[in-house]
Structures are given as C-alpha cells and as structure tokens.
Amino acid sequence: MSAVRGRAGLLACSCDFDLPDEAPRGAGSPSLALIAAGFSFSILAQALAFAALPIAGAILAPSPAATTAPVVLMLAGAALSTFPASFLTGLFGRRSAFALGASLGVAGAALGAWGVASGQFAGLCLGAFWLGTAQGFGLFYRHAVGSSPRAIALVLGSASLAAFAAPAVVGIAQALVGPLAPAGALIGAGLAQVCVLMLAAPLPSAIELGEGERRWRQDTPGFIAVTAAAALAWFGMMLLMTGAPLAMAGCGLGLGAASSGIAWHVLAMYAPAAVIGASGWRPPAAPTTFFGLGLLAIGCVLVRLQTSAGGFDLALIVGGCGWSLATLGATQWIHARGEPPRALLALHDFALFAGAVAGAMAVTVFA
C-alpha cells in the first residue's frame, strides 16, 4: 500500500490512493490515451444528444416555446456541474470525478429515452439535465493534461472520432426502432457514457494538492477578454447545433440529415485541434481565439441562407472550425500562465456553458 500524505481539512482514508504529484500529465503521460478516449466518448454522447433532443423536444413539447427546453436544461446541468467537477477532481481525483459524471450521464440517457418512448416530456427534460451534468464533468478532460499545448490539442482533437460514430449510431437506431429513433439515439448516448465510465476506472486516483495554483500568473483583464470571446463562441456554436436541425426539419430534411450535419459540425469542431496537436504547431493563443470567433460568426450567417443538406453541412463545418480555434486558443491561454486555480477553471467553464444556454434560448428569437 502506498504512503498517504495528509492535508489540513482532508480526511484520511485507509484506501490505496495513488499520489497525485507523481502522476504525469503532459503530452507523454501514460494516461493521456485514456483521457483522450474518455473525452472522445463523452463528445459522442453529446453529439447523439444534440441530434435527438431538438427533434424529441419538438415532438413532445406542450407548446412551441418549450421546444428547446430539453437542450437548455442539458446545458444548464452542464453549467451547474462545472464547479463540482473542478473541486471534486481536486479532492477525490480524476478517476472518481469522471466516473461520477459518466454515471449521471448513463442515468440521464436512460431516463430521456424512457421519456421519448412513453411520451413524457418531463422525463425527457430531467434526463437531459442529467446528461448535461455529465457534459460538465466531461469538458474537464481538457484540463486534466496540464499545461502542455500539444496534449491539450490532442485531447480536444480526439473527439473528432465521435463525428464518424454518431451517424452510424443514429442509422442503427432508425433501423431498429423507426419513429422512436430519438430514444434509440439517447440509448446510444448512454452506452457511450458507459464507455467513459470504463475508461475512467484505470485513471490514477490522483488527489491533486493544488500546489501549482500559487504559480498562476494573474492577468484579470486578459482572462475576462479570452473567457468572454470563448463564451461568445459557445453561444454561436449552440445557436448552430440547436437551430440547424430545426431548420433542416422545416426544409423537409429528417433526423438522418440532421445527424449527418451535426456529425460534420462535430468533426469540424475537433479536427483542427487534432491537426494542430499532431503537427506540434503552437499558434498564439489569444489571436487564435478571436480569429475562431470571427470564423464562427460567418458560419452563423451562412446557415440562415441554406435550404439543402449540403448547404447546411457547409455552414456547420465553417462554424465548427471557428469554435475549435476559439476553444483551443482560450484553453491554451489559461494553462500557458501556469497551473490555474480550480475556482478560475470552474468560472471559465461556467461562462462557456452560460453562453451555450443563451445560444440555445436564442434559437426561438432568431428562428
């Protein structure tokens, strides 16, 4: 049994904890592959949920104003879980925190699928909220590899694999359950969260003592500017991901076209980070963030001009590339200044999800 080091205010335990300080978190870390795979499955669950929830909400909502309620509640759950995700990772380690988030995702997917199958809008909304809490924990994977720009890019880029799996899962759901395909897609999201749970088990149970928090070089104006730009990017991303399936449905395009469009969007959201990480290129963080924000704005304009599946796909790809650069740049800017305090990481991620909630709610305004 390894030695256990205590800290004032932290209860001792006879469990065999691995010590966090020795756990490597850089680009060469043995756990990097597990973290990247866990993040990829987390994004797969997210992509399936985003493909299913807008359509399921449109079918079950008691009024047109409530159509986007499942998506909004999912994002609200993600925003509210950012602070628990940040501090639980520090208190109990990555393994426990990520496993807890995945467990909530499994339960949420099951409840949401039941809501769709039984016509219970309340069940769909509650399941969406629990799925959102899993997303809040899953987003923290990108903070789990330390300050290495290449490792951050590789973890973000690994989620591009979800773009290839999501349409296949939706296709299987349509073939098996037909009109209940949104429920089948949510079951697929639950299975993806089961994979996240399995991948979390071998991670080091690292109780991170936070000694590096004192090393972070404070830059409040820069933090506000970069976080605001990234939050605007998440606003635009959610405006696209929530509004595009509804716009496609209005043009006579079904769930298959919507899931394909979202898949291209997800690929564009993470493939640029994969290319940057594989090449070893380190673009300047702040300019990358603002350039990505501008590219996303172009995608938001383009999507309103489309009537065909190909046109929607193109607009979603442009917007996805913009989101990728904005999120990568903001994450690298924060970690380039040292080990960020947990409260700062939680505040940053909360701002991102708050922007996403606003984007989902704005769909009815811009429709």
Give the model's pLDDT for residue 313: 85
* pLDDT exceeds 80 at position 245: no
Instruction: Indicate whether 166 pLDDT > 90.
Output: no
As given in the structure block, the two tokens for residue 248 are 């496609």
Collapsing DSSP to helix, strand or coil, 337 comes out as coil
Encode pLDDT of 204-217 as tens digits. Answer: 665 443 444 446 67
Q: What is the mean pLDDT of residues 89-111?
A: 86
What SS3 state is found at 7? strand
pLDDT value, residue 272: 87
Specify if 328 maps to a domain.
Answer: yes
Q: Mind listing the pLDDT tens digit for each residue in 300-314?
A: 888 888 778 788 888
Q: Is the pLDDT of residue 115 over 90?
A: yes
In angstroms, rounded to a whole number, what is the distance separating the alpha carbons of residues 22 and 204? 10
Query: Among candidates 156, 282, 286, which has minimal Cα distance to 219?
Result: 286
Structure-block tokens of residue 302: 């383009």
What is the pLDDT, as a whole number, of residue 207?
A: 42
- Is pLDDT of 265 > 90? no
Q: Is residue 11 one of the residues assigned to a domain?
A: no
pLDDT value at 357 more than 80: yes
| Percent of residues, the chain, with pLDDT higher than 90 | 23
Q: Is the pLDDT of residue 125 over 90?
A: yes
Lowest-pLDDT choice from 113-117, 171-175, 209-213? 209-213
| Per-residue pLDDT, 51 | 79
Please give the angle made by the CA atoms of 67, 69 and 73, to the nearest 5 degrees.
160
Supply 144's token pair.
């789990």
CATH of the domain at 269: 1.20.1250.20
Q: What 8-state DSSP symbol labels residue 17?
A: P
Question: Structural domain tally of the chain?
Answer: 1
Least confident range from 90-94, 173-177, 282-286: namely 90-94
The two structure tokens encoding residue 97: 């925190």
322 pLDDT above the threshold of 90: yes
Q: How many whole angstroms separate alpha carbon 342 and alpha carbon 326?
A: 21
- Contact present, 257 and 248 (Cβ < 8 Å): yes
How far, CA to CA in Å, does 171 sit from each of 26, 128, 165?
37, 21, 10
Which uninterrupted H or E stretch holds 45? helix 32-60
Is the residue at 19 inside a domain? no
Domain containing 186: what range? 32-206+215-366
- Residue 78 in any domain: the answer is yes
Residue 21 belongs to some domain of the structure: no
pLDDT at residue 27, rounded to an integer: 45
Task: Tell me the CA distances in angstroms from 95 to 18, 137, 141, 176, 191, one per residue in order.
Answer: 11, 11, 11, 34, 19
pLDDT band at 11 (very low <50, low <70, confident <90, very high): very low
Does 212 or 64 have the greater pLDDT score? 64
- Measured between alpha carbons, how far apart are the two ends of the chain, in Å? 60
In a domain, 188, yes or no: yes
Question: What's the count of helices (H) and strands (E) in the chain, helices before strands?
Answer: 13, 0
Q: Which of 85-89, 94-98, 104-108, 245-249 has the highest mean pLDDT?
A: 104-108
Give residue 1's pLDDT: 41
pLDDT of residue 104: 92
Q: How confident is the model at residue 235 (pLDDT cuts 50, 70, 90)?
A: very high
Model pLDDT, residue 325: 92
Residue 259 lies in a domain: yes
